[in-house]
Amino acid sequence: MSDVFLEKLDDHRWLVPQSGRMRVPGIIYADEGLRDLLHHDDSIRQVANVAHLPGIVNYSLAMPDIHWGYGFPIGGVAAFDLETGVVSPGGVGYDINCGCRLMATNLTLSDIKDRISDITNSLYGKIPSGVGSTGHVKLSVRDQKKVLEEGARWAVKAGFGSGQDLETTEDGGCLTGADPAQVSARALERGKNQLGTLGSGNHFLEIEVVERIFDDTAAQAFGLRKDQIVIMIHTGSRGLGYQICDDYLALMVKHQQETGIELPDRQLACAYLASPRGRNYLAAMACGANYAWANRQILMHITQEVLEKTLRMAPRELGMRLVYDVCHNIAKIETFTIGGIEKKLCVHRKGATRAYPAGHEDIPARYRDVGQPVLIPGDMGTGSYVLAGQEKALAETFGSACHGAGRVMSRTQAVKSSRGRSISRELADRGVLVMAGSKGTLAEEMPEAYKDLNAVVQVVHEAGIARKTARLKAVACIKG
């Protein structure tokens, strides 16, 4: 339970007042209903804790999908001055560049209504998923280094997908500054056989149908239309990313005293951005980010092959194309206007999605008139949203929006409340075919374990951070 008092700023924002050693106040985006959920856990305290870190600019922010994480809350956004500020591996999370990739097709629901079971079975058979899953892509030491340096670019060169895919991937699927020399042997070992795998937990591959269009212009630019079949992939950097975060967190905890920074939670361990340790972490983190982009690029390619084979369609007929790929666990150097002056800052997004508005030079030319696609997956039963970044994101949230619905129930609670029920049957009744490696995962990930995605998205829409463009309904879901 949180003991921090929240002050209402307007219909969508709550102030966490500056107190004690906080360097700035916090702001949480939520409506009244979502605000009430915050008091069930310690996430408000975590927003306040992040505000203790040196060099934090303006506010410690949290999106409406905020929930209790470790160190930073999930849904947390914080930007730091490059000279006086810090980078914190806990502000990125263990799953570096966990993110979403949305692919459009030429298919409509009526085209595949009778084949959904076949397609899902084939995808489940070909896409390695589940705890500790290993992939078919075997890498030499040299190739592994290339993956870390080049990300999705390596995957395209290796024959997974096309160069066009890179145009609609955040940062072109390759974060600059990656240095494999900063990645430990342990991290390389944990990532060795996991490229091209989905993983477990909340990671998934979902077949979805465009249920509703809210904004015709943006939807048209993104190539989305009503009743169209699309595929959403949610996964990240697998064991490699977990180990990179773990290595640097342990290192920073060990040397925290040297920095002279007092922390309210060890998980906030950090290093100055200008220090060798801070720079090394960013170089290693970029390797993790690139591994994740290569991973999603490979998964997209496998998905395309499976669909073409199962439906006996030529690539042109299937028309699979990448709408966008965004990361939601990352620390990046981006430019913002602070007090009228353009400034480079290190923005941490831990469970938050970049949401650049129309006109921004870092979004693909074809989307520049409408804004960057923002992909927001929900629970298995609800589906997902596609939004378009808006001006207020740049002005208020360091170009960031929410990343999902956000958990409201712990895994243990979810398992308890699922006893005596068949979650897969319940989902089938709602028109969603689910295949999962274990019943435990299904129970933990049941729809009630999450906040109402519609409410979460409505907050970012009404707050002017990202505009609702399309709602996608889940048809079939593969869980690890």
Q: Which residues are catalytic?
A: 403
Residues numbered 390 to 429 that lie near other proteins (CB under 8 A) are 407-413
Residues with Cβ < 8 Å from 62, sequence gap 6 or more? 26, 27, 28, 29, 43, 47, 73, 75, 76, 77
End-to-end CA distance of the chain: 31
Report helix angle 276-311 to 238-254, nearest 10: 170
Which of 102, 299, 264, 279 has the alpha carbon at shortest distance from 178? 279
Min dist. Cβ of residue 265 to other proteins (A)? 6
Identity of the residue numbered 74: I
Residue 76 CA to residue 66 CA, distance in Å, equals 7
CB closer to other proteins, 265 vs 462? 265
User: By the 8 A CB rule, do 129 and 238 touch?
Assistant: no
Binding residue for other proteins, selected from 31, 65, 81, 95, defined by CB under 8 A:
95
Residue 409 CA to residue 438 CA, distance in Å, equals 19
| Binding letters toward other proteins, positions 134-173, x by CB under 8 A | ----------------------------------------
| 223: contact with other proteins by CB under 8 A | no
CB closer to other proteins, 52 vs 190? 190
Which of 473, 108, 126, 109 has the alpha carbon at shortest distance from 310? 126
Q: How many CB atoms lie within 10 A of CB 2?
A: 18
User: By the 8 A CB rule, do 370 and 412 touch?
Assistant: no
Residues numbered 35 to 74 that lie near other proteins (CB under 8 A) are 41, 43, 67-71, 74
Binding residue for other proteins, selected from 82, 253, 311, 318, defined by CB under 8 A:
253
Which range of residues in 87-95, 355-363, 388-396, 471-479 is near other proteins by CB under 8 A? 87-95
Which of 235, 243, 229 has the alpha carbon at shortest distance from 202? 235
Size of the site for other proteins (CB under 8 A): 43
Which range of residues in 154-162, 247-255, 320-328, 418-426 is near other proteins by CB under 8 A? 247-255
Which range of residues in 196-204, 214-222, 336-344, 461-469 is near other proteins by CB under 8 A? 196-204
Q: How many CB atoms lie within 10 A of CB 420?
A: 5
CB closer to other proteins, 254 vs 421? 254
Which range of residues in 163-171, 241-249, 305-313, 341-349 is near other proteins by CB under 8 A? 241-249
Identity of the residue numbered 169: T
User: By the 8 A CB rule, do 224 and 386 touch?
Assistant: yes
Min dist. Cβ of residue 290 to other proteins (A)? 19
CB closer to other proteins, 301 vs 451? 451
Which range of residues in 55-63, 149-157, 182-190, 375-383 is near other proteins by CB under 8 A? 182-190
CB closer to other proteins, 116 vs 253? 253
Residues with Cβ < 8 Å from 430, sequence gap 6 or more? 381
Min dist. Cβ of residue 387 to other proteins (A)? 23
SS3 labels along 126-146: HCCCCCCCCCCCCCCHHHHHH
Binding residue for other proteins, selected from 80, 94, 222, 356, defined by CB under 8 A:
94
Residue 241 CA to residue 330 CA, distance in Å, equals 11
Binding residue for other proteins, selected from 440, 448, 455, 462, defined by CB under 8 A:
440
Report residue 38 as tokens: 């915050």
Residue 30 CA to residue 126 CA, distance in Å, equals 40
- Interface with other proteins (CB under 8 A): 41, 43, 67-71, 74, 90, 94-95, 130-132, 186, 189-190, 199-201, 239, 242-243, 245-246, 249-250, 253-254, 265-267, 269, 407-413, 438, 440, 480
